[in-house]
Amino acid sequence: MKPVMTLHELQSFLTDEFPQVMGPDSGFTLDAVGDGSITMKLIAADRHLRPGGTVSGPTLFTLADVSAYVAILAHIGPVALAVTTNMSINFLIKPPPGTLVAKASILKLGKRLAVVEVAISGKADARTVCHAVATYSIPPER
């Protein structure tokens, strides 16, 4: 499965269209685009943390959702906006403080539905701290 947008095209699109999620202060960066997958990073700021310094559940949810969305966008192009219909998310271990890495891999890219798996780990420690599988509805007009 080949991407139809380059890393640079994706970065420009996301910064323009979703400044509040992907802007320079968001903490989210898109790092790599591959065949059927993308990799994002979250450099956690104070607002992403729980007391104790670990990344909060809603922040992990957001990172999983944004990563899966960007993986689909990279493979269908900026012509249609996929909408999250379901996410099943497992919180496996308490995330380490600091930067988190999310790898989103497309399991299915159909005409109407896409299913994406996301594994989130710490930067230095490859253990998966959070794992999600999400379904997106793709509008008919693409």
State the nearest-atom distance from the C-beta of 22 to its own copies, in Å. 14
Find out whether 8 and 38 touch, Cβ atoms under 8 Å. no
Question: Where along the sequence are the contacts to its own copies (CB under 8 A)?
Answer: 57-59, 61-62, 65, 83-93, 107-108, 112-113, 115, 117, 128, 131, 133, 135, 137
Closer residue to its own copies (CB): 7 or 115: 115
Closer residue to its own copies (CB): 7 or 49: 49
The angle formed by the CA atoms of residues 86, 46 and 29, to the nearest 5 degrees, is: 55
Fill in the DSSP letter of residue 60: H
Q: How far apart are alpha carbons 58 and 64 in whole angstroms?
A: 10
State the nearest-atom distance from the C-beta of 56 to its own copies, in Å. 9
For the chain, where are the alpha helices, taking DSSP H only?
Answer: 7-17, 19-22, 57-76
Sign of the C-alpha dihedral, residues 71, 74, 76, 82? positive
Closer residue to its own copies (CB): 32 or 92: 92
Contacts of 38 (CB under 8 A, 6+ apart): 3, 10, 30, 32, 67, 70, 71, 74, 103, 104
State the nearest-atom distance from the C-beta of 140 to its own copies, in Å. 8
Closer residue to its own copies (CB): 6 or 90: 90
State the nearest-atom distance from the C-beta of 121 to its own copies, in Å. 11
State the nearest-atom distance from the C-beta of 94 to its own copies, in Å. 9
